Amino acid sequence: MVGISACTRQLGIHPFHVAGHKYIAGVVQGSDVLPVIIPSLGEGLDVKATLARLDGLLLTGSYSMVQPHLYGANSSVDPSEYDLGRDATTLPLIREAIASGVPILAICRGFQEMNVAFGGTLHQRLHEVGGYQEHREDKEQTIDQQYAVAHPVAIQPGGVLASLVDGESAMVNSLHTQGVDRLGDGLRVEACAEDGLVEAFSVEGAPAFSLAVQWHPEWKVAEHPFYHAIFTAFGDACRRRAQENNRG
C-alpha cells in the first residue's frame, strides 16, 4: 500500500484534497501497488501512525510552489501559487519516512520538497536565473507534446538510476519552473541535465529506496522502459517492506 501526497484545492465553495490521475495510474501500472491518498492536514496528520501503515510514499508533482521561507528565501511569486497545507504535511512525512525506512519516490514538486526537507534551496524562477536551458513546457502544445521527451540527462555512475538503465544517459520530459539551487545535506546527485541542473538525487545511507526526479516518469509509464524501470524498482522496494512487516 503506497501513500500518495495530496494537494489542497478550492472547488466551488468547498476545500478538497486531490491527487492527479496520472500519478495514481502510474503507480498502479508501473509499481503494481495499491495507492491511497494522504490528506494534507499538516499538524492534524499523525505522521508516524500514517507511515506505519504504508509500504511506500509517492510525492507527486503540482502547479503549486514550495513556500520560499521554508528554505530561507523571500517570495518572488504570487502567494496564490503556494499550498500551505501540502508543505506542512509533506516535509514532515519525508523526514519520518527516511528515518523509518519507508521507500520514497518523489516527482517534480515532490523532488523540490525533498530537497527542501534536507536543507536545500530552490531557484523560484529558473528561466530568470540565466545559464539554464528552457525547462518549462509550452502550454500552447497538446498534452502529449508537453510530456514528450525533451532533453537528455547524464546518469551518474554507481547510483540508483545507474542500476536501472543501460548507458550513461537517458531522455526525459521537462515541465518545471523551479529547480535545485543548492542540493540538500546528505543527498547524492543521480542525474544532471546538459546545463548542469540537478535532475535526480537519492538519499545517501537511506535504509530503503529513496529517489527524487525532476521529470515526470509517471506519464505513459508503460510506454517508456526507463520510466517503467523506476516505478518497478520502487514497487519492488515497497513489496520488500510489506513482507518485512508481514503485509505481503
In a structure prediction context, what are the per-residue pLDDT tens digits for the chain, which is 248 residues long?
999 999 999 999 999 999 999 999 999 999 999 999 999 999 999 999 999 999 999 999 999 999 999 999 998 777 788 999 999 999 999 999 999 999 999 999 999 999 999 999 999 988 888 889 989 899 999 999 999 999 999 999 999 999 999 889 999 999 999 999 999 999 999 999 999 999 999 999 999 999 999 999 999 999 999 999 999 999 999 999 999 998 76
Q: Is 218 assigned a catalytic role? A: yes
The catalytic position among 123, 176, 216, 224 is 216
The catalytic position among 218, 224, 228, 238 is 218
Q: Is 216 assigned a catalytic role? A: yes
Count the residues in the chain. Answer: 248
Distance CA 76, CA 139 (A): 21
Q: Is 108 assigned a catalytic role? A: yes
Say whether 214 sits in a helix, a strand or coil. coil
pTM, whole model, 2 decimals? 0.96
Query: At 232, which helix (H) or strand (E)?
Result: helix 225-244
What does the DSSP 8-state code read for residue 210?
A: E
Rounded (to 5) percent helix, strand, coil in the chain? 35, 25, 40
Residue 60 and residue 110 in contact, taking contact as beta carbons nearer than 8 Å: yes
Domains contained in the chain, CATH given: 2-244 (3.40.50.880)
What does the DSSP 8-state code read for residue 75?
A: -
